[in-house]
Chain A
């Protein structure tokens, strides 16, 4: 099984392709990474150095893969780093004639805060709307779902309204809202169509982590490709990610905090091999 993954590269740490590749390798995938950044580490460490990859280089590397005749079972779109990169990846998705499973994480921000260039929003919308159906499954968090549907999610009714609006606006079969806070509890919500949605309760680990969304994205792609059953896939992925987060918390002496919560910049992925495989 071969997957092509567009996401960030950091030398040190477990975000982007560094959080996607190792878990998928453990599950038997050959992961071809096109790195959208080449950074020493992610910004959560407070300082970082390095650069974003140019869109021209991304297009060039993809061209190299086409030249040697590669086809993929799945394609993952994670952190893209810039508007030109996302536009370049949109062109690549449109060129994939062999119809792989395409999973796109529309990374915009979290907890009511945008942390990328706001000009990415219309490009993500255009990709999700494309009449050719470029994306099979998308994984926004609550903030990203709200942004994509211009609908604030504050209760079960507004969640339903947001999902209905999503399917009115976009041409994507499956949606997973990776974290929704409702009635003081956390859920992961899966949607097969506007009428068929389900919520998986998430047992919150008391810390803030970087890279958990990328780990979720990779693991969900794996099991959804194997089972094509979104509900099974979601329950499994939530369970594995929560166990990795718990182990990470146990093994980390947190030195930073966000609000009242400890902040943990790196996941203990290597130490969670037995949980992931």
Chain B
């Protein structure tokens, strides 16, 4: 199984390709790693050094891969810095999909979180075009990213249903997985249980469903990157997005619990990485290596409820 992953590289820590590559390798994937930036660490540390790989450099490297005729079974695209790089990545992914339609493309439209956009806004129209290309199989936006892609606010269950229907019908996206919604239980018409909601919607299935995931009182970076990598693996194997998401969320909850436990041991009680504070950020890195025996687990801890 051959996969091309196009994301950021950090020398230290686990975001982007550093969060995706090793878990996928333990699951048997030969991962080709195309780095969109070459940084010392992620930006949460407050200082970061390194360089961005420009769009034309990315295109040149992809041409090199074409010259040796590498065939991909799956494509994973995550954090991409700036519109020119994103356009170059879009071109190469479209070329892969056109020459090999069975290749599974998961696009994580990384733009922001918690109401904050952390990429330059010129990527938004490029993501909209990609999502509209009819070639993307799965997208994993968070709620903010979903709103940016569709250009409307989601304030309740009906908006969410409308957003998902638009993605399936107008944009031909097969599967949409929103790993965490900001919507409250009340806004979703559910009983409040202190959970966050993960929403899964598929063209092939009856209607969108929600998983209730117990909230973890901590914040780690790279979580979305690990999530999308594992989801691509499970979806490729199982061909069932609801089952795939359930397994991945079950792995994620174990990875986060282990990361939190190791973080508490090191920091003595505080599990909040303070943005700009290198000492706490270092301890709040995902324990990608230490969790290597968890990625293959097939447990399904969560119960699906209809949206």
Contacts and interface: CB of A to CB of B under 8 A. Distances in A.
Nearest to B57: A51
Contact of A12 (B11, B51, B57, B70): B70
List of 6 A-B pairs having minimum Cβ-Cβ separation, nearest first = A64-B40, A40-B64, A49-B64, A64-B49, A68-B278, A47-B67
A270 interface: yes
B187 interface: no
Contact of A34 (B11, B60, B68): B11
27 contacts: A4-B11, A9-B35, A25-B22, A28-B290, A29-B289, A38-B57, A38-B61, A40-B62, A40-B63, A41-B68, A47-B67, A47-B68, A48-B64, A49-B64, A50-B57, A50-B60, A50-B64, A57-B51, A63-B40, A64-B48, A67-B49, A67-B278, A68-B282, A69-B278, A69-B279, A269-B25, A270-B29
A256 to B, nearest CB: 12
B51 A35 contact: no
Nearest to B23: A25
Interface in B42-84: 45, 47-51, 53, 57, 60-65, 67-68, 70
B39 A61 contact: yes
Contacts of B65: 11-12, 40-41
Interface in B265-307: 278-279, 281-282, 288-290, 292
Contacts of B53: 38
A64 B41 contact: yes
Nearest to B49: A64
Interface string B1-40: 0001000010110000000001001101110111100111
Interface of B: 4, 9, 11-12, 22, 25-26, 28-30, 32-35, 38-41, 45, 47-51, 53, 57, 60-65, 67-68, 70, 278-279, 281-282, 288-290, 292
Nearest to A33: B11
B281 to A, nearest CB: 7
A30 B12 CA distance: 8
Given A60-B50, A60-B51, 11 more contacts: A4-B11, A11-B32, A11-B34, A33-B11, A35-B38, A38-B38, A39-B64, A61-B49, A64-B39, A68-B12, A70-B12
A216 interface: no
Chain A facing B: main interface SS:
mixed
Interface of A: 4, 9, 11-12, 18, 21-22, 25-26, 28-30, 32-35, 38-41, 45-51, 53, 57, 60-65, 67-70, 269-271, 273
Contacts of A46: 68
Contact of A61 (B28, B32, B40): B40
Given A9-B35, A28-B289, A57-B50, A68 B40 contact: yes
B25 A22 contact: yes
Contact of A68 (B45, B50, B70): B45
Nearest to B51: A57
Nearest to A31: B289
B292 A61 contact: no
A60 B11 CA distance: 12
A271 B65 CA distance: 22
Contacts of B48: 64
Contacts of A68: 12, 40-41, 45, 47, 278, 281-282
Nearest to A18: B33
B49 A12 contact: no
A50 to B, nearest CB: 5
Contacts of A40: 61-65, 67-68
B86 to A, nearest CB: 18
A63 B196 CA distance: 39
Contacts of A67: 40, 47, 49, 278
A7 B292 CA distance: 24
Contact of B49 (A22, A25, A38, A63): A63
Contact of A35 (B9, B282, B289): B9
B278 A26 contact: no
Nearest to A4: B11
Contacts of A18: 33
B240 to A, nearest CB: 25
A167 to B, nearest CB: 34
A270 B282 contact: no
Contacts of A50: 57, 60-61, 64
